[in-house]
């Protein structure tokens, strides 16, 4: 088969252009450190890279949210620890006041002390978080959870629905406990064991104050048992808080591990293997130089060079 001069020149030119394109691509990859110089270079790899980047971003968002939640848990824990310390002192007072060692005047002094603790605990129960939201009002975060009526009774104005944070995985994490759970429910019964009423910790404290003021030793004895129940409920909430803190820590570790894994996959999809790219570049440049040399020599050949 005969090959025309023009066809030969076109073939050689196409080959050198292709080789130059490979070299330019490899040089750009080495310069940027990325495999895909433009999205159109490898659509599949670019799409995979975008998806991995989105997953990494969501994991980072989760970590940021978890850090905020953990700070809220620590605030909640500090508040309940302060309540627990005051309840411990109330229990000590109830045991002391039950004995005949202290007079009615002494019980009046105890009553003032207990009243002060109750007021402090109510104030703590109305604590706000760093965002200015009430911590123990359920999802009614702008409503003050505990207020006092004209009759002196403490009432709960929040709800029992606890706010939650939904993570990227779909897992819902409770943000705080409701005031209803904080105050607890104490069941009162009569001598026959029938339920007469259900009260919360503030009613227990108020009745304790009333018993102290009235030198009512029977009422003080009731307070000993009920304060123990109140303290047990608060400790249960503290344990729950600790479990939630542990869960947040575990979720953060999982999210951080995922980021490491996804970064590795993203690096495989995006980053250039410098050793391989340099080898390919050297090979391509040698091939181009050979093609150019051959083309230069062949293009100068003429049949007249061989005529004598």
Instruction: Tell me the pLDDT tens digit for each residue of 110-124.
Output: 999 999 999 999 999
- Provide the pLDDT confidence category of residue 215 given band limits of 50, 70 and 90: very high
179 inside domain: yes
Q: Is the CA virtual torsion 76, 77, 82, 84 positive or negative? A: positive
Q: According to the model, what pLDDT value does residue 50 have?
A: 75
Structure tokens at 126: 């109305």
Predicted confidence (pLDDT) at residue 243 exceeds the cutoff of 80? yes
SS3 state of residue 147: strand
Q: Which of 22, 35, 24, 25 is nearest to 272 (CA)?
A: 35
Q: Which of 287, 290, 284, 280 is nearest to 30 (CA)?
A: 280
Q: According to the model, what pLDDT value does residue 31 have?
A: 54
Predicted confidence (pLDDT) at residue 261 exceeds the cutoff of 90? no
Average pLDDT over residues 9-17: 59
With a CB cutoff of 8 Å and minimum separation 6, the contacts of 26 are 277, 280, 281, 284
249 inside domain: yes
* Domain ranges, residue 242: 53-265
Average pLDDT, the chain: 80
Do the beta carbons of residue 144 and residue 127 sit within 8 Å? Answer: no
45 inside domain: no
Can you tell me the distance from the alpha carbon of 183 to that of 68, in angstroms, rounded to the nearest whole number?
Answer: 25
pLDDT tens digits along 139-156: 999 999 999 999 889 999
Q: Specify the pTM.
A: 0.71
SS3 state of residue 193: coil
Q: According to the model, what pLDDT value does residue 277 have?
A: 46
Q: According to the model, what pLDDT value does residue 111 have?
A: 97
Say how many domains are in the chain. 1
Q: According to the model, what pLDDT value does residue 270 have?
A: 59
Q: According to the model, what pLDDT value does residue 306 have?
A: 47
* Domain containing residue 133: CATH number: 1.20.1330.10
Predicted confidence (pLDDT) at residue 133 exceeds the cutoff of 70? yes
243 inside domain: yes
Predicted confidence (pLDDT) at residue 37 exceeds the cutoff of 60? no
76 inside domain: yes
Q: According to the model, what pLDDT value does residue 300 have?
A: 55
Report which of residues 172 and 178 the model is more confident about: 178
35 inside domain: no
Q: Helix crossing, 43-98 with 217-270: angle to 10°?
A: 170
- Provide the pLDDT confidence category of residue 304 given band limits of 50, 70 and 90: very low
Predicted confidence (pLDDT) at residue 217 exceeds the cutoff of 80? yes
pLDDT tens digits along 152-167: 899 999 999 998 888 7
240 inside domain: yes
2 inside domain: no
Q: Which helix (H) or strand (E) holds 186?
A: strand 186-189
Average pLDDT over residues 67-92: 95
Predicted confidence (pLDDT) at residue 239 exceeds the cutoff of 60? yes
């Amino acid at each position: 088969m005969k090959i025309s001069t023009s066809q030969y020149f076109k073939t050689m030119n196409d080959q050198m252009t292709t080789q130059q394109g490979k070299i330019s691509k490899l040089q750009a990859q080495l310069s940027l450190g990325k495999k895909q110089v433009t999205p159109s270079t490898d659509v599949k790899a670019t799409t995979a890279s975008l998806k991995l980047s989105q997953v990494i971003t969501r994991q980072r968002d989760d970590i940021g949210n978890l850090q905020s939640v953990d700070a809220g848990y620590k605030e909640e824990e500090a508040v309940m620890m302060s309540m627990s310390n005051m309840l411990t002192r109330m229990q000590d007072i109830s045991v002391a006041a039950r004995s005949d060692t202290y007079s009615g005047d002494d019980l009046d002094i105890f009553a003032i002390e207990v009243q002060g603790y109750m007021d402090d605990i109510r104030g703590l129960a109305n604590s706000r978080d760093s965002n200015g939201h009430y911590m123990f009002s359920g999802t009614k975060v702008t409503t003050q959870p505990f207020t006092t009526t004209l009759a002196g009774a403490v009432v709960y104005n929040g709800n029992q629905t606890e706010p939650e944070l939904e993570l990227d995985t779909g897992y819902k994490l409770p943000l705080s406990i409701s005031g209803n759970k904080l105050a607890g429910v104490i069941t009162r019964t009569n001598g026959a064991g029938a339920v007469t009423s259900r009260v919360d910790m503030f009613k227990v404290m108020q009745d304790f104050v009333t018993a102290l003021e009235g030198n009512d030793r029977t009422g003080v004895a009731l307070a000993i048992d009920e304060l123990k129940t109140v303290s047990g409920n608060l400790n249960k909430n503290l344990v729950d808080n600790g479990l939630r803190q542990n869960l947040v820590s575990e979720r953060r570790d999982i999210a951080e591990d995922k980021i490491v894994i996804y970064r590795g996959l993203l690096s495989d999809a995006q980053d250039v293997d410098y050793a391989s790219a340099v080898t390919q570049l050297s090979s391509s440049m040698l091939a181009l130089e050979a093609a150019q040399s051959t083309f230069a020599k062949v293009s100068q050949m003429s049949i007249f060079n061989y005529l004598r």
